Amino acid sequence: MTFFKNLVHNYEYATTKLNDPRTTDWFLMSTPWPTIAIVTAYLIFVYGGQKWMKNRTAYSLKDAMLCYNFCLVILNAYIFYEYLVSTWLNPKFSKSCQVMDYSNEGLPLRLAKVSWWFYFSKIIELMDTVFFVLRKKNNQISFLHVYHHSTMPLLWWTGVKFVPGGESYQCASINSFIHVLMYTYYLLSAMGPQMQKFLWWKRYMTTFQLIQFWWILGHTLHAMYVNCDFPIGFGFALLAYDFSHIVLFSHFYYNTYTKKARAKKAETDKNLTNGTTEKHSSENGSTTTRRK
C-alpha cells in the first residue's frame, strides 16, 4: 500500500507542482488518461481490426486518403512554420542551449501553443494505421510503425504538460518538416498508379528520417553536456527514445533497401553467369556438329 500511496503522491505532485500552468487547461492536457485511453483504443483496433477485416473485402478509401494526406501536409507545414518563427528565426532563442521560458505572452507562449499542436497531430496520425487496417495493407503494420505511432502521443503529452519549449523545440520542428515531405509522398501515392514515376524518392525519406534521429541525438547530448538548465530527466528519456528509433529505422532501411539490393544484384549476377554458361555450351555444341 505504501508503494501505491507514494506513486499517487508523486503523480499528484508532478501534475500540480511541476507542470506548466499555461497548458493545464488546454484540450486533453489536464490528465494523461484521455491520451492513454486513445492509445489503448488504437492498439486494440490494430489487433482486432486486422482479425475483423480478414474475411472482408478491403475498402478503397481513395477520396478519404487524399483529403487526409492533404490536411496533414497543411497541418505539418503550419507547425513547422510556427516553430521556425518562434525558435529558428528568433535571434533571442539559443539554437544550441535554450532554457525553458514560461512567459505567458509573446514567442514563448506561441512556442507552447505550437508544441500542443504537434502533440495533437500525433493523435491525428493514428489514422495512418486505421487506413492500413481497412485497406488490408497488413504488411505496412510493422512493429516499428505501431511502436512509433502509439508512443509519440504519450511522449508529447508529457512534453506539453511539463516542457513545451526550450530544448524540446529541436525534435518537433525537424519532425514536422520531415512529415511535410512524408505526407506529400503519401498524397501523391494516393492519387493512383499514374503518379508512380514521381515517387522515386521513397528511399530518401527513410534516409532523411535517420539523419533526423542522429541530429537529435547529437543535439540532446550537447545540451546535456553544457547543462542548459533544462530538466535532465527529459534529456535522458529523449536519448533513449531517439536511440530506439535509430535502431528500428536502421533495421528497416537494411531490410528494405540494402538487403533487397544485394539479393537483386546476386540474382542478376547469377542470371548473367547462367547465360554465359549456356552460350558457351551452345557454341561448343555447334563446333562439335561442324567437326562431324
CA 147 to CA 154: how far, in whole Å? 11
First and final C-alpha spacing in the chain: 99
Angle between helices 232-253 and 143-162 (to 10 degrees): 160
CA 109 to CA 263: how far, in whole Å? 52
Distance of CA 199 to the CA centre of its chain: 19
251 noted as active-site residue: no
Closest CA to 181 of 69, 259, 17: 69
List 148, 149, 219, 245, catalytic entry: 148
- Give phi and psi for 213, each to the nearest 5: -70, -40
Alpha carbon separation from 154 to 8, 159, 244 (Å, rounded): 19, 9, 16
Catalytic residue positions? 148
